[in-house]
Structure 1
Amino acid sequence: MSFIDDWRGEHLSAKGLRLLLRSRVEGFLTGEHLAVRLHEGVEFEQLKPYQPGDDTRKIDWRVFLRNRKLWVRQSPLSLNTVVHCALDVSASMLYKEEGRSKWAYAQLLAAAIGYIALQQGDTLKVWGCVEDRMQQNMPLFEVERLLKQLESMQPGGKQLPEIATSAGLSKGRHLWMFFTDLYDSPRRWVASWKRLRALGHEVHCWHIMGQKEITCSWKGMLAFKSLETAKVKKVNVESYRKTYLRKMEAFLNEARQECLHAGVHYHRVLLQESLHSVLWRELVG
Structure 2
Amino acid sequence: MSNLLDPKVLLAIKDLPLAAKTAVDGFMAGMHASRVKGAGLEFSQYRSYQPGDDLRWLDWKMYARSDRYYIRESEMETSIDISFLIDASNSMLHTEDGISKIDYARYLAASLAYLAHLQGDAAGLAVLHHGRLFTMTARREAQHMARLYYQLEQIQPGGTFTAPAQYRDLFSGPHNRQLLVFITDYYEQSGEITALLQTLSALGHEILVFHLLGEKERTGDFRGYDAVEDLETGQRLELTGIADTDYPSKLEQYNDQLRTQLLQRRIYYRQLLLQEPLDAALRDFLNQRNKMRK
Instruction: Please say whether Structure 1 and Structure 2 have the same fold, judged by a TM-score greater than 0.5.
Output: yes
Structure 1 residue 264 corresponds to structure 2 residue 267: yes
- Aligned-residue offset at 1:280: 3.6
User: Among 149, 152, 157, which residue is 2:151 paired with?
Assistant: 149
Contact 2:226 2:239 in 1 (8 A): yes
Contact 1:127 1:134 in 2 (8 A): yes
Partner of 1:125: 124
- Residues 1-44 of structure 1 show CA distances to partners (whole Å, capped at 9, x for unaligned) of 372541559xx85x1x23322322123235624633699xxxxx
Give me the whole-angstrom Cα distance separating, in 2, the residues matched to 1:244 and 1:23. Answer: 37
Distance change (3 Å), C-alpha of 1:252 and 1:186: farther
Distance change (3 Å), C-alpha of 1:282 and 1:82: closer
Distance change (3 Å), C-alpha of 1:138 and 1:28: same
Give me the whole-angstrom Cα distance separating, in 2, the residues matched to 1:22 and 1:164. Answer: 31
Structure 1 residue 250 corresponds to structure 2 residue 250: no
Letter in 1 for 2:146: E
Give me the whole-angstrom Cα distance separating, in 2, the residues matched to 1:97 and 1:180. Answer: 16
Partner of 1:29: 28
Distance change (3 Å), C-alpha of 1:159 and 1:242: closer
Distance change (3 Å), C-alpha of 1:189 and 1:77: farther
Structure 1 residue 139 corresponds to structure 2 residue 138: yes
Partner of 1:229: 233
- Aligned-residue offset at 1:243: 4.7
Helix, strand or coil: the match of 1:20? helix
Distance change (3 Å), C-alpha of 1:97 and 1:254: same
Greater mean alpha carbon deviation, residues 209-218 or residues 270-279: 270-279
- Aligned-residue offset at 1:134: 3.5
Letter in 1 for 2:267: V
Give me the whole-angstrom Cα distance separating, in 1, the residues matched to 2:76 and 2:270. Answer: 23
Structure 1 residue 175 corresponds to structure 2 residue 162: no
Aligned residues: 244
TM-score of the pair, normalised by structure 2: 0.71
Letter in 1 for 2:254: F
Greater mean alpha carbon deviation, residues 186-195 or residues 227-236: 186-195
Greater mean alpha carbon deviation, residues 269-278 or residues 24-33: 24-33
Give me the whole-angstrom Cα distance separating, in 1, the residues matched to 2:11 and 2:232. Answer: 23
Give me the whole-angstrom Cα distance separating, in 2, the residues matched to 1:93 and 1:156. Answer: 8
Distance change (3 Å), C-alpha of 1:101 and 1:186: farther
Helix, strand or coil: the match of 1:177? strand
Q: Provide the identity percentage.
A: 29
Distance change (3 Å), C-alpha of 1:32 and 1:272: same
Greater mean alpha carbon deviation, residues 258-267 or residues 78-87: 78-87
Give the aligned CA root-mean-square deviation in angstroms. 3.3
Give me the whole-angstrom Cα distance separating, in 2, the residues matched to 1:27 and 1:221. Answer: 38
Partner of 2:88: 89
Greater mean alpha carbon deviation, residues 227-236 or residues 160-169: 160-169
Contact 1:97 1:212 in 2 (8 A): yes
Contact 2:38 2:118 in 1 (8 A): no
- Aligned-residue offset at 1:103: 0.5
Distance change (3 Å), C-alpha of 1:187 and 1:139: same
Structure 1: runs of 5 or more not aligned: 40-75
Give me the whole-angstrom Cα distance separating, in 1, the residues matched to 2:262 and 2:245. Answer: 26
Structure 2: runs of 5 or more not aligned: 40-74, 289-294
Partner of 2:193: 189
Give me the whole-angstrom Cα distance separating, in 1, the residues matched to 2:235 and 2:190. Answer: 21
Contact 1:177 1:203 in 2 (8 A): yes
Give me the whole-angstrom Cα distance separating, in 2, the residues matched to 1:244 and 1:211. Answer: 13
Greater mean alpha carbon deviation, residues 148-157 or residues 87-96: 148-157
Contact 1:187 1:255 in 2 (8 A): no
Give me the whole-angstrom Cα distance separating, in 2, the residues matched to 1:186 and 1:250. Answer: 18
Contact 2:83 2:138 in 1 (8 A): no
TM-score of the pair, normalised by structure 1: 0.73
Give me the whole-angstrom Cα distance separating, in 2, the residues matched to 1:186 and 1:78. Answer: 40
Distance change (3 Å), C-alpha of 1:183 and 1:38: farther
Partner of 1:204: 208
